Amino acid sequence: MPYSKELPLAKAKIDRCRSIARGIGDEVAQVVETHSTVGTERGVLRLLGFNDALTREDLMYPVANLIVDQLAESGRLARGVLFWVASALLTRKYSLEELITAVSEGLVDFSQIEPGEEKAVYRLAEKLARDAHTRMMQIRQNRRKKFGKLKDPADEKRPLKYVIVATGNIFEDVLQAKAAVLDGADIIAVIRSTAQSLLDYVPHGHTTQGFGGTYSTQANFRLMREALDELSLESGRYVRLTNYCSGLCMSEIAALAAIEGLDCLLNDAMYGILFRDINMRRTLIDQHFSRLICSKAGIWIMTGEDNYMKTTDAKTSGDQVLASQFINERAAINAGMPSNQMAIGHAMEMDPSYDQVILMEIARAQMTRQIFPQSPLKYMCNTKYKTGDIFTSHAIDTIFNLLGGLTGQGVILLGMPTEAVHTPWLADRSMALRSANYVVGGSRGLADEVGYRSDGFIAKFAGKVLDDAVKLLERIRPIGLMKAIEKGTFAGVKRTQDGGKGGSGVFPVKRGEYLNPFFKLMGSRIGV
């Protein structure tokens, strides 16, 4: 029986999945075209430079929140925040910098701003958006100039080795990140403080007391970015930085990440809907604007399908993962994002006690690689079946490293031997990196030496996952994505269309009245 370097996946079935996903994308587009959110409007302000905070009752109140709150409470937000910023500049005779300062000092109340002459407002709003867009692109170009001569691991030795730091203290995170880079890490991910995704604002300044992770703030982004840039220049190889861009502040986080030069963001509306009970309309709208920003800033998005397998049996939930991957791909395409920035997520999460489990994991990983050939796939280690037995954990992670290299994953999120015991110490991370360095480096080229039988177990298992994904998408097609989520189609989790956190932050807009030039500037395929 002949062997091939690729699995015999039916192209017609893959094409059918993408066709259905395109229709699902049209459903989401209708929501984006007719609504905005307080988070999206705050993202606009962040791009313009409204990134300071006032002190109120000993708490930091972000200026972006202040402006949007004033407009929402006065019933003015439906025209878009940029309409009122442009009006303030025209009627109050401020420069943009003067307006930012005045708001930061509490001297301007946007509920009292008089609307400017409409044509003049639209012209100025277009200019403000173009200037902000130009600044963002200049940041990207400047980083290319500064680091373009360094070795980029993404160009020569994928999969990239991705490790997390999660002390809660950004200054301690920097020390742990530096140690990880010296041990060979290619991507540093600063885990976000537990439940920050449910905060409807972005904390301000450096933070030292996160729980289970460190708060995502502009100051924290900058501190870690500076540290990794310094190490990149010293080592001669570029080190990527990742943070989290899900939850109620997706657009703001994306804007701040673009400004501070981050490389990757965990960005997935489905994750927020299913696992954080965030209102589905709110987060689907925010996801679109955040992905527009990521697309233009050159930021890889990382999707969260690995989480589906933590609440279901990973052996039987492969169809949910694959269906969601097609939907996520379409959402990124609608935001004008190229495939090489779509780090589609999946994981090695099957029960290790299953017979032939390694073959099943190879099938799913190789299938995903072939279906999304240009994507820097993000492959997640096993966490669900870690028990505190550090020796078995290390063995599972070693196999994970081998499969990540064999199937050509773009990124492997390294497992830690103490996964189920505590937040990893320096020694745990070092052990994980040394294992990955050995296994990934030592097996480089293995895929060119072996092949798959067209009638073998691996090919048949992958074919079944694809068949099941087609059937699942066919069931979703007539009812739509949001109804499918209500029925618990993904991860066994049910959410209602009108429920969840942040639903009150969604508001209707009218074509011709709502003003957001960023959609067109950033290449949106919807909402323009």
| Tokens at 411, concatenated | 């990124």
Instruction: Work out the angle at residue 56's Cα, subtended by the Cα atoms of residues 51 and 57, and round it to the nearest 5 degrees.
Output: 150
For residue 174, what are its two tokens?
Answer: 């920097």
Give the Cα separation of 350 and 357 in Å (integer).
Answer: 7
Ranges of H-type helices in 78-217: 81-92, 96-104, 118-147, 153-156, 170-182
Considering only CA atoms, which of 484, 6, 35, 1 is closest in space to residue 274? Answer: 484
| DSSP sequence for 169-193 | -HHHHHHHHHHHHHTT-SEEEEPBP
3-state helix, strand, coil in the chain (%, to 5): 55, 10, 35
Q: Determine which helix (DSSP H) or strand (DSSP E) holds 19, and give its type and residue range.
A: helix 11-34
**Catalytically annotated residues:** 271, 306, 378
Distances (CA, A) of 144 to 51, 132, 148, 162, 375: 25, 19, 5, 21, 21
Task: Respond yes or no on whether the N-terminal peptide bond of residue 376 is cis (omega within 30° of 0).
Answer: no
Handedness of CA 324, 326, 327, 329 (dihedral sign): positive
Q: How far apart are CA 151 and CA 8, in angstroms?
A: 35
The two three-digit tokens of residue 146, written as one number: 């500064």
Tokens of 131: 């200037």
For 49, 106, 395, the CA distances from 169, given in Å and listed in that order, are 26, 30, 31
Q: What stretch of H or E contains 242?
A: strand 240-244
If DSSP codes are grouped into helix, strand and coil, which group holds residue 61? strand
Cα separation of 432 and 415, whole Å? 7
Strand locations in 103-186 (E): 160-165
Q: Residue 254 — φ and ψ, nearest 5°?
A: -60, -40
Please, is 101 exposed, middle or buried when counting C-beta atoms within 10 Å of its C-beta (0-12, 13-18, 19+)?
middle
> How far is the C-alpha of 166 from the C-alpha of 213, rounded, in Å?
4
Question: What's the rounded Cα separation, in Å, for the pair 21 and 6?
Answer: 24
